[in-house]
Structure 1
């Protein structure tokens, strides 16, 4: 089999290269306390897009640092309550997508929430000095500031806050809230289930935002990770601060959140992935202590994995 990374036997043993900050748990306990102190001021606005068997809403809530966050919400009609719900997270710089491709779960009687990440391609705000989008550069936002200012800290908290909002809705069964997404969406699926461990099932696909030092060592700080190289070239051209930088990135490294997950995990990976290298994904998977399984695609990279979306739906249907 062609290789872009370690052999599969080594991947199954790999535990990561990036350093874990000594105060990692205290950092996230403090972050969650900040999130829980926020009044979310949830607002549901009926969308112009509607279908006969479900109600479609633009959902808004206030996240940490005052950002107004947007998600699409589809609530099925004439189904038993409370019922299961799905949370969906999108790829880097993208948005929550079209209504149409979410309706399959609504037809099954599931509520469906699809988040717009703050400052990216949708309607969620980035309040870091401007209103509206900053599109990308989000991994390195805050690296020259206190770790509490890291932008992905706030984005991870948005996922957990949305999960909590969904669980409080009277039509939703809080014990049957599940999460899914690919690339950045896969990373956010991991973060969400770690920071809101009541998530019962999760299906991440080739997750982003893991093992940054390994990405650097493989000379793959390009594509989704290009801003790592940009940061060093502009702010630390001789790498005198390299240890400090990778230590700070450890606060937003999903591999160190993985052990907090309590829900059952279905993980999809392509072994030819040069965007999110397989070793960085196994660094996450190998730290998950909850019930888990992995679907491996030896000849596929960072692309659609055949039938995995079907597997995901079947996985979620098994309550």
Structure 2
């Protein structure tokens, strides 16, 4: 069943949330501190058995210089420097095994998959702690809601920006051709990075989480947004403080600062990330920089939180090739 507004109303729906007056100062200070504390990344070759792909176990400096893990996969026979895809993961997801996924590296891109600090699920636990706290299942959305300085997503968004910083500095990658991508939580992170780090070649954002928190908490009764409902039911006097904190991480506010070409998707039957919250971020993309942006959104009518699945991925593949220049294969010498 449809979970939100009909398509004609989604096309005109606009974000009606708040934006803090010190939003830019807050994030500039946060990122400056992380970059000052950063150390050179460590890359260790990992055996995977994959033919044609070299995989590195990467540790880079994220929030406040804290170590963050990632996989970096490089195609062996594509000419350098490589266009790069930086991928962010869904809520509760971890970077997983070293040999998955391989689509982007198989197509000739450098591909970095960032771990989600402190997150875990039945599908695996992150290799990255949240400071001194081991990964947990669920609950990170409400971690530190009393202030933006302590909120969990301040740390995760900083990690995500530093992931782009890290690949941009590698000899084998082209800093001018970096695309960020993600679905659900990963989509929300990709929006935030596009707003926080200029110079990206593009972004692919699918059924994003972390958009227009207050509306989402009003119209869905599913996790992760239901974590906010659970939290506020027991703390009714903290409602305004909670949504003030969340305004610093709301992807709709970050989208207003983004300039890179972007392709969004939303699903009409999504019970997790309702499409109106996605459109709230989409319509703000580029708003603070003149409102002129190369952006488009695909609306999937008979889809839930899986969105367009492989059909959407195929569309992203063509988009990324167009904005970065499709990678070419070096000819292997015979004999």
Give the Cα–Cα distance (whole angstroms) in 2 for the partners of residues 186 and 37 of structure 1. Answer: 27
Cα distance, 1:222 vs. partner?
2.6
The range that moved more, 304-313 or 83-92, is 304-313
**Structure 2 vs 1, CA of residues 222 and 40 (structure 1 numbering), >3 Å: closer, same or farther?**
farther
Give the Cα–Cα distance (whole angstroms) in 2 for the partners of residues 97 and 315 of structure 1. Answer: 26
Q: Is the 8 A contact 1:102 1:112 kept in 2?
A: no
Cα distance, 1:221 vs. partner?
4.4
1:256-299 Cα distance to aligned partner (Å, 9 max, x none): 00022121101111111110111110000000122101111112
Cα distance, 1:124 vs. partner?
1.3
Q: Which of 297, 301, 305 is 2:300 aligned to?
A: 297
Give the Cα–Cα distance (whole angstroms) in 1 for the partners of residues 294 and 86 of structure 2. Answer: 20
Q: Is the 8 A contact 1:19 1:250 kept in 2?
A: yes
Q: Is the 8 A contact 1:49 1:56 kept in 2?
A: yes
RMSD: 1.7
Partner of 2:267: 270
Q: Is the 8 A contact 2:85 2:179 kept in 1?
A: yes
Cα distance, 1:62 vs. partner?
2.2
Give the Cα–Cα distance (whole angstroms) in 2 for the partners of residues 97 and 291 of structure 1. Answer: 33
Partner of 1:143: 145
Give the Cα–Cα distance (whole angstroms) in 2 for the partners of residues 252 and 85 of structure 1. Answer: 25
Q: Is the 8 A contact 2:222 2:271 kept in 1?
A: no
Partner of 2:48: 49
Q: Which of 274, 280, 285 is 1:283 aligned to?
A: 280
Give the Cα–Cα distance (whole angstroms) in 2 for the partners of residues 187 and 23 of structure 1. Answer: 21
Q: Which of 311, 317, 324 is 1:313 aligned to?
A: 317
After the TM superposition, which segments of 4 or more aligned residues of structure 1 sit over 6 Å from their partners?
none
Cα distance, 1:134 vs. partner?
2.7
Partner of 1:89: 88
Look up the SS of the partner of 1:257 in the other structure.
Answer: helix
Cα distance, 1:22 vs. partner?
2.2
Q: Is the 8 A contact 1:14 1:283 kept in 2?
A: yes
2:191 pairs with 1:190: yes
Counting only pairs closer than 5 Å after superposition, residues 121-132 of structure 1 correspond to structure 2 as 121-127=125-131, 129-130=132-133, 132=134
Give the Cα–Cα distance (whole angstroms) in 2 for the partners of residues 59 and 86 of structure 1. Answer: 15
Residue-pair matches, total: 311
Give the Cα–Cα distance (whole angstroms) in 2 for the partners of residues 269 and 11 of structure 1. Answer: 10
1:109-148 Cα distance to aligned partner (Å, 9 max, x none): 2111001110113211211x43x3133322211112x321
**Stretches of structure 2 lacking an aligned partner (at least 5 in a row):** 120-124, 287-292, 326-335
The range that moved more, 183-192 or 27-36, is 27-36
Give the Cα–Cα distance (whole angstroms) in 1 for the partners of residues 270 and 307 of structure 2. Answer: 11
Cα distance, 1:214 vs. partner?
0.2
**Stretches of structure 1 lacking an aligned partner (at least 5 in a row):** none
Cα distance, 1:70 vs. partner?
0.5
Q: Is the 8 A contact 1:18 1:247 kept in 2?
A: no
Counting only pairs closer than 5 Å after superposition, residues 162-201 of structure 1 correspond to structure 2 as 162-201=163-202
2:20 pairs with 1:21: yes
1:221-256 Cα distance to aligned partner (Å, 9 max, x none): 43221210221133x1xx223222212211110100
Give the Cα–Cα distance (whole angstroms) in 1 for the partners of residues 217 and 226 of structure 2. Answer: 10
Partner of 2:231: 231
Give the Cα–Cα distance (whole angstroms) in 1 for the partners of residues 9 and 190 of structure 2. Answer: 25
Look up the SS of the partner of 1:241 in the other structure.
Answer: helix
Q: Is the 8 A contact 2:34 2:64 kept in 1?
A: no
Q: Is the 8 A contact 1:200 1:262 kept in 2?
A: no
Look up the SS of the partner of 1:280 in the other structure.
Answer: helix
